Structure 1
Amino acid sequence: MAERVSIGQSPSAWRRFAAAAVAAGALVLGGCQTVVPRGPAPVRRPPVVRPTQPQQPVVEQGIPKDTQRHRVALLVPLSGPNAGVGQSLANATQLALLDSSNDRVRITSYDTASGAALAAQKALADGAQLILGPLLAEDVRVVTPIARRAGVPVVSFSNDSSAAGNGAYLMGYVPAQSVARVVNYATDKGVTSFGALVPNGTYGERASTAFLRAVEAAGGRVGSLQTYDRAAGSMTAAIIRMTKSAPYQAILIADGGSMAAAGVPVLHKNGMGGARVLGTELWNSESAIASKPALEGAWFASVSDGLYRQYATKYRARFGTAPFRLSSLGYDAVLLTIRIMRDWPIGAPFPEDRLHDRGGFAGIDGAFRFGRDNVAERALEVQEIRGGTTVTVSPAPGGFEE
């Protein structure tokens, strides 16, 4: 008979038995653990790249931005009745760029004949930092406030001083300066008594004021100042009225050369043929002025023609036609821009304060500078019509005294 083994019923004996059973079970389970074989390693596939839409180029409106040159706008009439003058000014600006071999200024022309305001707005939208022009005073008055709001100065070709200021500068030949210059020259030559014939209108009013002031400043006397309309018989009537205060040593005819030449025979007929005839800067704009026999011995003040003749020759060779006399203003405006460009970084606003340099600027028409009124003060010469040509009898000064 088998021996029976008994286990005591004490708690400690049961705890030792349970612990041994757990340990044995763990060994049995550990020895019977099933090993699952591994399959092949997963294949790594490259990520799916979806096709992208090609980037569309950015199309800018207007003229492309220029990062290498200054953007300058030229506002002139390129159609309509003043198209000839406007095109001549445009040609002159291009000739100035060529002559100076300058590639840092880009000039774009805008036609003011279709609206000066629209032309200015288009120029500013295209990035213009300086405006050259317009030609007419009424256009200057329209363009100036538009440009001023954008901080862009306007260098105009007008000679109407009332259009200057508020960012507008005038390069035109102002009648007051030529009248004062020829009167001063006449007094230097001993003339003390003066008469004057002036047309009605704005030009005549300004010429009259300048004449009276110049004669007074020179210590002379004005015997008579008569106005007339540009109509048949009107100048003759004015000359007859002048006879009441005759004689005169010099008589100013503040009009174009053709009108002056028509009036001289009437002066002779009415006993005033001994007076020296004086003219204004308007005479210099007429190429045939020297060929008028009635004006023999007359004096007039204007910008110098020396460099202009050379310019006119080059202009004809390039464009196949003669330039308008006023076109030299366009050429000189570019020279002014190039000189100031030394202190004008690309992309920066135009340094307007430089326009008031007291030393002035030089150009085809000689030295000039802008005064406090923004009107160009010019160094003028006095010419005499003699033997079918014009002779300089008093040269223009080469510059200005500070």
Structure 2
Amino acid sequence: MAETSAERQAYASSRRQLLRGLGVTAMAGFLAACQVVPKAGGPVAPPPPEQPTDNVGPGLPTDTDRHRIALLVPQTGTNADVGTSIANATTLALLDTKTERLRITTYDTALGAAAAARQAVADGNKLILGPLLSEDVTAVAPIARAAKVPVLSFSNDTGVAGNGVFIMGFVPGQSVERVISYSQAQGHSRFGALVPKNVYGDRSAAAFRDAVAEAGGTLVAVESYDRSATALTGAARRLANAGDIDAVLVADSGGNAVRAVPVLKSSGDKQILGTELWNTDASLGGSAAMRGAWFASVSDGLYGQLAGKYRARFGRAPYRLASLGYDSVLLTVRIARDWKPGTNFPVSKLMAEDGFGGIDGIFRFNNRGVAIRALEVSEIGAGGFRVIDPAPAKW
């Protein structure tokens, strides 16, 4: 069952009115209008007691048969569309699994992530899915930790993981490691990298250095740039003239790669490598210079099915991150089989050696709380992407 914080607040308000004298019949009608049941014939929340009790107060109604799960995502503001896409995907997961053991309430982090977390804890939720942004994770973490409520975030910032916070986002370093390893196995040994001057670029560069060393290759040069066309072209030209490089990583969006790659190849052909950022840009094959480039990402096979189902139900395409919402529910449903409602979430279950499966393939959490994902390597062609090294099906 999925509900929003607005529905929860409306319920609390009406419940207090009931204690002031409203009849049970009127309240039952209001509940029927507010509840969303994941499958036909499924259970609904129990009606409020006919007589006031000492422990009645604002918040969610008593529910002893289902697990209380909070979903913290932006529902308003600049990231509302992404948050709504994730929330809708959790609804699809509830419907697809036909689970009757979860009750998911959505809280809007755009109104304040800390306030959303405090309300989620006060409402008795035992697990938090989200938030999306790393700064929101930082605000939520101490509140959740004090209440012994683990956080399963959609962020890809490894810096916020640990001490009760697990991150499910696509970490760029893993994509870099995968494509460098594959490239080395294909005979490339002298590597260069082109990275933007931002957090993503810094982390990609660090992962690149480690991956080249791990592969036994030679790191020739790393060039960085700010986000101007002039700086990008200048950095690409410096890298093209840096020496004998046979493979270059471009850790940036597909659009910037299209501008940089012709310059990189001006001093001789090189194998172009990319990250998961290219996975959502189907137009890359339109650039002749990009054809033959390799990049590593999660598999898109099952995501296509999710996207089709999403469009059929909600009338629009989902954001790519919607899969994280869907998979977080699949994970929770699996753990819920051995989790008694009302008790603390069994955090140790998140460390299962065989990991978890979902729309984005298999993954498991390391001891820092970072989701380690099985990635595939794809090649860009004129007609789109072609998988040239599939993701492992098991660990």
Report the TM-score, using the length of structure 2 for normalisation: 0.85
Classify the secondary structure of the residue corresponding to 2:60. Answer: coil
Contact 2:272 2:294 survives alignment (8 Å):
yes
Match of 2:85 in 1: 88
Which of the numbers 334, 338, 346 marks the counterpart of 2:333? 338
Letter in 2 for 1:326: L
- Pairs aligned (count): 346
Which of the numbers 120, 123, 130 marks the counterpart of 2:120? 123
Cα gap change, 1:265 to 1:154, in 2 (>3 Å): same
Runs of 4+ residues over 3 Å off in structure 1: 53-56, 285-294
Contact 1:302 1:382 survives alignment (8 Å):
yes
Which of the numbers 361, 364, 368 marks the counterpart of 1:373? 368
1:157 aligns with 2:154: yes
1:301 aligns with 2:293: no
Q: Give the superposition deviation at 1:287.
A: 4.6
Instruction: Please identify the structure whose Cα radius of gyration is greater.
Output: 1
Letter in 2 for 1:184: S
Q: Give the superposition deviation at 1:244.
A: 3.5
Cα gap change, 1:286 to 1:57, in 2 (>3 Å): farther
Letter in 2 for 1:215: V
C-alpha separation in 2, matches of 1:239 and 1:371: 35
C-alpha separation in 2, matches of 1:115 and 1:287: 35
Match of 2:307 in 1: 312
C-alpha separation in 2, matches of 1:180 and 1:84: 31
Cα gap change, 1:236 to 1:111, in 2 (>3 Å): same
Q: Give the superposition deviation at 1:143.
A: 0.4
1:286 aligns with 2:281: yes
C-alpha separation in 1, matches of 2:66 and 2:393: 32
Which of the numbers 129, 142, 147 marks the counterpart of 1:132? 129
* Sequence identity percentage: 55
Letter in 2 for 1:66: D
Classify the secondary structure of the residue corresponding to 2:357. Answer: strand
Q: Give the superposition deviation at 1:246.
A: 2.7
Contact 1:292 1:388 survives alignment (8 Å):
no
Which of the numbers 182, 186, 204 marks the counterpart of 2:183? 186
Query: Structure 1: which 5+ residue stretches go unaligned?
Result: 1-52
Contact 2:240 2:264 survives alignment (8 Å):
no
Query: What CA deviation, in whole Å up to 9, does each residue of 1:156-212 have, x standing for no partner?
Result: 000010010110000001111100000000011101111110011211111111111
- RMSD across aligned positions (CA): 1.6
Contact 2:282 2:384 survives alignment (8 Å):
no
Match of 1:271 in 2: 267
Match of 1:327 in 2: 322
Match of 1:251 in 2: 248
Which of the numbers 336, 339, 347 marks the counterpart of 2:342? 347
Report the TM-score, using the length of structure 1 for normalisation: 0.83
C-alpha separation in 1, matches of 2:348 and 2:312: 37
C-alpha separation in 2, matches of 1:323 and 1:111: 19
Q: Give the superposition deviation at 1:154.
A: 0.1
Letter in 1 for 2:209: L
Q: Give the superposition deviation at 1:289.
A: 4.0
Q: Give the superposition deviation at 1:219.
A: 1.2
Letter in 1 for 2:150: P
